[in-house]
C-alpha cells in the first residue's frame, strides 16, 4: 500500500504551530513563502515544505520511505537597525528542536528495545530528526533566515 506523503508534512507543520505559534506573526505555512511575500508584521514566520521523498525498502511490513523536509524560518530584528536577526532565529531553532523530541504521550518501543529521543509526530512517522541547520543572520539587513532540514522515516501499512 502506498504511503500518504502529505500526512507527515502536515503533522510536522501542526507540531511546529503548537510549539512555535505564539512567537510567529502568522500561522505555520505548508507553502514556501518568499521574503517579498512577508511584511514586517508577519515575521517571524515558518514554512514547511517537502524537499525529497526517497524509497528505502519494501517488505512484509510495507514500504519504507525517508521524507526530507525543509523548515524555513524568517525573522526580523526591528528594534535596532544595526542588530542581527540571529538571536531570534536561534531561539526559534531551539523551539523547533524541542518540538521534534519525543512527547510523553507518544508510543515508545517495547521492553528491551531502545527508546527513541525523536518524535513520531503522534504516530504519523516512525521518527523525525533534524539533519542540518543553516542560518543567514541578516547581516546584509535586518531580516534573517534559517533552514532546518529534517528527515522523517515513514512506513506504509502492508
Which residue has cell 512527547? Answer: 103
Q: Where are the domains of the chain?
A: 6-155
pTM of the predicted structure, to 2 decimals: 0.88
pLDDT of 19 over the 90 cut: yes
Of the chain, the percentage scoring pLDDT greater than 70 comes to: 85
User: What's the burial of 109, exposed, middle or buried (CB within 10 Å: 0-12/13-18/19+)?
Assistant: exposed
Grid cell, residue 134, equals 543553516
Sheet holding 127-136, edge to edge: 45-57, 64-76, 143-155, 127-136
Question: Span 6-155: which CATH code?
Answer: 3.30.70.1700
pLDDT, mean over the chain: 85
pLDDT of 110 over the 50 cut: no
Q: Under a CB-based contact definition with an 8 Å cutoff, are residues 54 and 106 in contact?
A: no
The confidence score (pLDDT) of residue 111 equals 46
Arithmetic mean of pLDDT, 74-83: 77
Arithmetic mean of pLDDT, 65-89: 86
The confidence score (pLDDT) of residue 151 equals 95
For the chain, helix (H) and strand (E) counts, in that order, are 2, 4
pLDDT tier at 123, thresholds 50, 70, 90: confident
Number of neighbouring beta carbons within 10 Å of residue 115: 8
User: What's the burial of 152, exposed, middle or buried (CB within 10 Å: 0-12/13-18/19+)?
Assistant: buried
Amino acid at each position: 500500500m502506498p504511503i500518504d506523503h502529505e500526512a507527515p508534512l502536515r503533522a510536522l507543520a501542526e507540531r511546529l504551530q503548537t510549539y512555535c505559534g505564539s512567537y510567529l506573526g502568522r500561522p505555520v505555512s505548508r507553502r514556501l513563502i518568499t521574503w517579498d511575500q512577508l511584511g514586517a508584521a508577519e515575521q517571524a514566520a515558518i514554512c514547511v515544505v517537502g524537499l525529497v521523498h526517497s524509497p528505502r525498502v519494501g517488505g512484509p511490513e510495507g514500504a519504507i520511505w525517508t521524507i526530507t523536509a525543509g523548515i524555513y524560518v524568517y525573522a526580523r530584528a526591528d528594534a535596532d537597525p544595526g542588530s542581527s536577526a540571529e538571536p531570534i532565529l536561534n531561539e526559534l531553532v531551539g523551539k523547533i528542536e524541542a518540538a521534534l523530541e519525543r512527547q510523553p504521550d507518544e508510543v515508545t518501543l517495547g521492553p528491551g528495545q531502545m527508546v527513541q529521543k525523536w518524535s513520531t509526530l503522534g504516530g504519523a512517522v516512525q521518527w523525525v530528526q533534524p539533519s542540518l541547520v543553516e542560518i543567514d543572520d541578516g547581516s546584509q539587513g535586518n531580516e534573517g533566515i534559517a533552514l532546518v532540514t529534517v528527515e522523517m522515516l515513514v512506513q506504509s501499512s502492508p
